[in-house]
Structure formats: structure tokens, C-alpha cells
A = this chain, B = another copy of it.
Amino acid sequence: MTMKNNENTLHLGEFLPYRLSVLSNRISRAIADGYEEQFQLTLPEWRVMAVLGGEPDLSAAQVAERTAMDKVAVSRAVNKLLESGRLERHFSPEDKRRSVLALSEEGQKIYREVIPIALGYESKILDKLSEPEKLTLMSLLNKLEDIQLHADEN
């Protein structure tokens, strides 16, 4: 019979949320180091570019959805990308509030350069796992992503 951890102490090194946080930060930082300096690109900016590179002509709100960023973060990243000429913005004729965002030529160029860097790091990680381990990892992530953590927050 397996007993659940019910001690009066908590060991961070075995605490799932802590381990995920440290691991995730380490990976994100490593990847960002791979493009931040070279392309003067922050992580939120790269996320916006990553989405628009695969699916152009989204509104800021749609970008926010797909990146799990909040709309303020998207707004800021979009504006920096506009200033640096990596993004083009139009506004929808039907709804003059809604922006229509797409990578500029320059933005696409950078996008194509950063992708292999990002995928390279991912491979560096995934290559350490066997094929069945990769499949399990993906299936575990799917499950974990589905979990409802809050009581309810309509």
C-alpha cells in the first residue's frame, strides 16, 4: 500500500510545481539567450512573432489567446515590434478597433532564423528521451494541461 506524503515538512526538490518551475525557467532562459542578444528580441516579442509567423493577419486579442499572454503584454510586444520594423499593422475595415497583424519582410527573415535555434534547443532536450518516453511526456502534458486548478472562477 502506497502512502501519500502527509508529512509536516515539504521538500522543494520533490515538489512537482517547484520542479516544473525551475526546469521551465531554465529551458526558457537558455533558449532566450540564444536569440535575445543576437536579434534584440525579448521572449514576449518572440512569442508574438512565433504565432504570426505561422498564422498571419491575427488581431492582438487572437495573438493573446494563442500565446497565453495577456493583452497588455501583447500590446507592448506588438508596439516594440512595430518600432523595430518587424511587424506590420493594419486595421480591419469592418471594425476599426481590431488590428490585423503580420510579420514584415524583415520580421519573416528573423522568424526563419530563430526557428532553428528554438527547435534546436527542443531537440537537445527531446533527444535525451527514448521514443516511448517522448510519447509519454506528450501524453502527460496533455493530461496536465487539462487539469482545472481553480475551484471555479466563471
Contacts from A to B (Cβ < 8 Å): 2, 4-6, 8-13, 15-28, 30-31, 33, 47, 50-51, 53-54, 66-68, 112, 115, 118-119, 121-126, 128-129, 131, 133, 136-137, 140-141, 143-147, 149-150
Q: Is the CB of A30 within 8 A of B150?
A: yes
Chain copies in complex: 2
Q: Interface of chain A, helix or strand or loop or mixed? A: helix
Q: Is the CB of A2 within 8 A of B147?
A: no
Q: Is the CB of A119 within 8 A of B24?
A: no
Given contacts A2-B131, A16-B126, 5 further A-B contacts (CB under 8 A): A12-B54, A12-B66, A27-B149, A30-B149, A129-B143
